[in-house]
Chain A
């Protein structure tokens, strides 16, 4: 309901006196197909890397479909949006788009014909990308093999299907223009900020959204958000990581998808990490520097030591005396854990301690539920880490007991309250 109200507010904003402004976008002329050698190889390669870092293929590729040919369902609180074909097919893709048209889409959220795009496409971030980087992305996309893939219609109810109301959204939330460095910060931080706020669009998942579906500002920045059933953990002061993130650990996580003090990237973060494979180590450290500037960086060593000593204390293994289980559910969960999980999640194995995992210590049990149910197909650089799926091996109540036990045993945070409901939801969504 609150979303509906927000939409109506936008709609009225759009109607009342803004018509001229709303309607100011006109069609940009179609271009003729470009010659194969229209772009420099170095520029194309740079574009390929930016497209990977920007995870364009994650949203613009449907499961089993051609890369970047669109058609993937993006579920939002407002309804389901289908991504567009961004291969250079003239009729169904961006083959007729000039660089100015492409730049306008990234900067202003408007397509070649002058129509508003939905902010599920994060142009509020891409607007910060520099001209030469946009040109490189364009060069890469325009030299891909064209794929003919007409875009199916979005499944958006009224009033969200009235595109002009996005003019109001843009008026309120879009700050157009390339990133301008913060002169009070060093180059590394500014490089990180450019990547995170621009092409990387980290906040699109990690920052909570307001009732208009726009990222919240100031203190809520990177405070964590749940979308598509997964919880993107907080990257700010509220980071749930038991051992504080360090630049090294974050670079390991971003580039390898794995850090021994944090564990493995999973769920919706997996393709992100795969995309970051082409990121240079310098850029990865820049991102870490920028993100860490939002986090509590005091007493890192002491807090790390405390987290590790807790992890050692509660580790599941023959040598460690188990703390008594809290209740009957935990006790049943412990039996399942001992039978199924402790074979790998114990001292002396190649797993990261559960007690160091944000999945276990986070505010939301959904990630843990998904991981147990679906297992982990690792990011490409995580090499030898993976986990089988147990969704069909555990009943909903087995799973609830297990999740309850894992939280109580391996985290010092309070118990999750809504485990059973979320399991039902998660399993219904997977069907």
Chain B
């Protein structure tokens, strides 16, 4: 048993906390996303979603006799800073110093099941649940204090866990909690603090995970080196639909350090004593087999035609008929295309697994969905769900469903072959690049009928896309390697996520108040290329399309694009965000220089979450078509602000990553292989391409947390596209906006 695994056992936790009551996992929202009404919690109806699923207060909070507080959460950290922010919410409502918190997140055995950490829901779901749980625990503690001190609870004051009664008598949380006082279910009526009194929420508490990352501490699953660990690698097929026909593993078994070669159907893996030996053996394994290799991929150039022609089910997600019948004087339409893009984690996915003597497979994983991934792995291994324990350990940033779950499954497949031995697996760069589930290619067609003043009368959006959601979800068919086992687990046919704002249709509905609106998604269930949830799902492409098209309409109407937007945007918060970004940018007194231009765009993520506007200035070099982004000004309203610096960091990251997608990225593939195999064949943004970024964080005291992480992706894409139009007079509608494309458009305009 290695130290790391040991450190995390239940017994040790028991030893420090004195008591433990486990909650039983309740079925959670499959996609970790809340319907809009669920966000209205602070208005005061019902329990927050995650607390309703895990109502036992002791499942969330332990008050320890040593003066610490253990906070257990199901939302996991992957660099977005949610651990710190959720901790702030807890410390604030509980009235303890932030430094007293010990936070345990994403252990399927210890933590409340909060489903998937996705969809920018850490704060709306996780933060709100912790807010309510903490407030309620505070109330219980005050009740205990009242009993102990013989004073009324209402007159108690709390400072950092020390409770003072009106008569000056004091006690502390650490003295009060004995026994099972917190083994009670949350009620719907905790007393929440007045946001005006916040001292921890709304401040930029430094992230708890940062110091170790800066000084060489152990931070990531990739950093773990348990005693006695051995190294596993897989060898992937030549392409998605290849089948292994024969292989002689004998020579590989004799390679230095090789402990075991695992073959199951078309799945190939190897375990060796050192990483070098495992890599050498897996490379040999990769070329040793004879494969049936179908060359039936479409090729990236043909993907948009394919999407439009593939069988799809049209689904009208929004239909608003215009009352009057005046005919538009003009109809304007455009088609926008977005290629496959990668999550592109800097660290390749990894996991550490060990099959214990108790038959439990314990896996350290950076999965976003530890519970459902554990369930899928259990089914793949054909064992009961409680025989797989996933412990979330940080990995490299993932930005959605990358290969974290596949790594957990592969580590488990290999560890199952060597019971009792700890197996560490980390993919090669090519394995990550070529096999991860990409953000899907999309085609978006928009048509608008306008009146003589350029006002939109009718608006139509049609969106074509394959699935945005193939997370494990408890189904082994969604684990990559499980599809190659004998017998294989079939990948379930993806279904469109119902509702207007989830997968392909996310943000396809304009928030502008146009009288007639029809929005249709065309969901293509076939997946020629592996795809899944990638930061903001369909919102990135839809906002790119909608907010580009709004600019086209403004240009056609000869109205300033900011003014044009404000003409149709009635919501006060939306207007405030847009105006703030424009002010920060200096929109009204902008002085144009040759070949430079500006663009602005706005979206409310999912149409009900964070409101974000981005203004961008670019310089376009006509000689080369190259776009240099000079600066970006961002305004964001994520509701009640917990950690302003955290929101600013997320927005900066969103702008930079979205610029990378928008200007540079496209997964390339031929009829037989993914050609984007590394950073040289799939370049991403570098330091010299990154603009300066100003972020204005708008606080809405007492309003629901809206989440932040994905809100900037779409507006950034449209803002830069609009800025290119302003600078060079060319409208680009196919991503990425490479120098070749910009130059071709400029040359075409000239001639």
- Touch between A and B in complex, CB under 8 Å? yes
Interface of A toward B, CB cutoff 8 Å? 248, 251-252, 256, 281, 343-344, 346, 348-351, 378, 380-384, 386
Residues from chain A with a CB closer than 8 A to the CB of B215 are none
A248-B623, A251-B623 in contact; A380/B678 too (CB < 8 A)?
Answer: no
B36-95 interface (Cβ within 8 A of A)? none
The interface stretch among B235-243, B377-385, B610-618, B679-687 is B679-687
Q: Is the CB of A350 within 8 A of B686?
A: no
Q: Is the CB of B688 within 8 A of A349?
A: no
A382-B688, A384-B689 in contact; A351/B680 too (CB < 8 A)?
Answer: yes
Residues from chain B with a CB closer than 8 A to the CB of A343 are 678, 680
Residues from chain A with a CB closer than 8 A to the CB of B689 are 383-384
Residues from chain B with a CB closer than 8 A to the CB of A348 are 675, 681
Residues from chain B with a CB closer than 8 A to the CB of A281 are 623
Q: Is the CB of B624 within 8 A of A256?
A: yes
Residues from chain A with a CB closer than 8 A to the CB of B623 are 248, 251-252, 281
Give me 27 A-to-B residue pairs in the complex whose CB atoms sit less than 8 angstroms apart, sorted by A's number: A252-B623, A252-B624, A256-B621, A256-B626, A281-B623, A343-B678, A343-B680, A348-B681, A349-B680, A349-B681, A350-B680, A350-B681, A350-B683, A351-B680, A378-B688, A380-B688, A381-B688, A382-B688, A383-B626, A383-B686, A383-B688, A383-B689, A384-B683, A384-B685, A384-B686, A384-B689, A386-B686
Cα A144 to Cα B702 with chains together (Å): 52
B166-193 interface (Cβ within 8 A of A)? none
B628, B664, B681, B683, most chain A CB atoms within 10 A? B681
Residues from chain A with a CB closer than 8 A to the CB of B688 are 378, 380-384
A256, A349, A381, A384, most chain B CB atoms within 10 A? A384
Nearest neighbor of B628 in chain A, beta-carbon distance: A383
Residues from chain B with a CB closer than 8 A to the CB of A384 are 664, 683, 685-686, 688-689
Cα A410 to Cα B602 with chains together (Å): 50
Residues from chain B with a CB closer than 8 A to the CB of A344 are 680
In terms of DSSP, what is the predominant structure of the interface of chain A? loop
B333-388 interface (Cβ within 8 A of A)? none
- 17 new A-B contacts at CB < 8 Å, known A252-B623, A344-B680: A251-B623, A256-B624, A343-B678, A346-B680, A348-B675, A348-B681, A349-B681, A350-B680, A350-B681, A381-B688, A382-B688, A383-B628, A383-B686, A383-B688, A384-B683, A384-B688, A384-B689
Cα A382 to Cα B621 with chains together (Å): 13
Residues from chain B with a CB closer than 8 A to the CB of A248 are 623
Interface of B toward A, CB cutoff 8 Å? 621, 623-624, 626, 628, 664, 675, 678, 680-681, 683, 685-686, 688-689
Residues from chain B with a CB closer than 8 A to the CB of A383 are 626, 628, 686, 688-689
**CB of B497, distance to nearest CB on chain A (Å):** 36
**CB of B301, distance to nearest CB on chain A (Å):** 15
Residues from chain A with a CB closer than 8 A to the CB of B621 are 256
Cα A351 to Cα B624 with chains together (Å): 16
Nearest neighbor of B685 in chain A, beta-carbon distance: A384
**CB of A277, distance to nearest CB on chain B (Å):** 11
**CB of B44, distance to nearest CB on chain A (Å):** 51
Cα A252 to Cα B739 with chains together (Å): 13
Residues from chain B with a CB closer than 8 A to the CB of A382 are 688
Cα A386 to Cα B623 with chains together (Å): 22
Nearest neighbor of A251 in chain B, beta-carbon distance: B623
**CB of A339, distance to nearest CB on chain B (Å):** 12
Nearest neighbor of A349 in chain B, beta-carbon distance: B680
Residues from chain A with a CB closer than 8 A to the CB of B628 are 383
Cα A350 to Cα B675 with chains together (Å): 13
Residues from chain B with a CB closer than 8 A to the CB of A346 are 680
Nearest neighbor of A344 in chain B, beta-carbon distance: B680
Nearest neighbor of A285 in chain B, beta-carbon distance: B623
Residues from chain A with a CB closer than 8 A to the CB of B624 are 252, 256
Cα A346 to Cα B628 with chains together (Å): 26
Cα A248 to Cα B624 with chains together (Å): 9
Cα A349 to Cα B679 with chains together (Å): 8
Cα A251 to Cα B626 with chains together (Å): 14
Nearest neighbor of A351 in chain B, beta-carbon distance: B680
Cα A59 to Cα B541 with chains together (Å): 49
Residues from chain A with a CB closer than 8 A to the CB of B675 are 348
Residues from chain A with a CB closer than 8 A to the CB of B626 are 256, 383
Cα A256 to Cα B689 with chains together (Å): 13
Cα A85 to Cα B621 with chains together (Å): 36
**CB of A176, distance to nearest CB on chain B (Å):** 37
Cα A384 to Cα B686 with chains together (Å): 6
**CB of B674, distance to nearest CB on chain A (Å):** 12
Residues from chain A with a CB closer than 8 A to the CB of B678 are 343
Cα A25 to Cα B621 with chains together (Å): 49
**CB of B688, distance to nearest CB on chain A (Å):** 5
Cα A346 to Cα B688 with chains together (Å): 23
Cα A206 to Cα B100 with chains together (Å): 66
Residues from chain A with a CB closer than 8 A to the CB of B683 are 350, 384
**CB of B10, distance to nearest CB on chain A (Å):** 45
Cα A221 to Cα B523 with chains together (Å): 67
B621, B623, B675, B685, most chain A CB atoms within 10 A? B623
**CB of B196, distance to nearest CB on chain A (Å):** 47
**CB of A196, distance to nearest CB on chain B (Å):** 20
Residues from chain B with a CB closer than 8 A to the CB of A380 are 688
Cα A344 to Cα B677 with chains together (Å): 11
Cα A252 to Cα B675 with chains together (Å): 28
Cα A201 to Cα B536 with chains together (Å): 53
Nearest neighbor of A378 in chain B, beta-carbon distance: B688
Cα A103 to Cα B733 with chains together (Å): 55
Cα A116 to Cα B423 with chains together (Å): 73
Q: Which 7 A-B pairs have the closest CB atoms?
A: A349-B680, A344-B680, A384-B686, A383-B688, A350-B683, A383-B689, A349-B681
**CB of A26, distance to nearest CB on chain B (Å):** 47
Cα A346 to Cα B675 with chains together (Å): 13
Cα A382 to Cα B686 with chains together (Å): 11
**CB of A245, distance to nearest CB on chain B (Å):** 15
Cα A380 to Cα B619 with chains together (Å): 15
Residues from chain B with a CB closer than 8 A to the CB of A381 are 688
**CB of B558, distance to nearest CB on chain A (Å):** 30
Cα A378 to Cα B689 with chains together (Å): 12
**CB of B331, distance to nearest CB on chain A (Å):** 40
Residues from chain B with a CB closer than 8 A to the CB of A252 are 623-624
Residues from chain A with a CB closer than 8 A to the CB of B685 are 384
Cα A350 to Cα B664 with chains together (Å): 11
Residues from chain B with a CB closer than 8 A to the CB of A256 are 621, 624, 626
Nearest neighbor of B683 in chain A, beta-carbon distance: A350
Residues from chain B with a CB closer than 8 A to the CB of A349 are 680-681
**CB of B745, distance to nearest CB on chain A (Å):** 18
Cα A351 to Cα B683 with chains together (Å): 10
**CB of A344, distance to nearest CB on chain B (Å):** 4
Residues from chain A with a CB closer than 8 A to the CB of B680 are 343-344, 346, 349-351
Nearest neighbor of B660 in chain A, beta-carbon distance: A384
Nearest neighbor of A252 in chain B, beta-carbon distance: B624
**CB of B243, distance to nearest CB on chain A (Å):** 22
Cα A210 to Cα B631 with chains together (Å): 49
**CB of A430, distance to nearest CB on chain B (Å):** 24
Cα A281 to Cα B594 with chains together (Å): 12
**CB of A346, distance to nearest CB on chain B (Å):** 8
Cα A398 to Cα B689 with chains together (Å): 34
Cα A223 to Cα B711 with chains together (Å): 57
Cα A281 to Cα B621 with chains together (Å): 10
**CB of B160, distance to nearest CB on chain A (Å):** 47
Cα A381 to Cα B688 with chains together (Å): 8
Cα A380 to Cα B685 with chains together (Å): 14
**CB of B236, distance to nearest CB on chain A (Å):** 16
**CB of B628, distance to nearest CB on chain A (Å):** 7
Cα A349 to Cα B677 with chains together (Å): 10
Residues from chain B with a CB closer than 8 A to the CB of A386 are 686
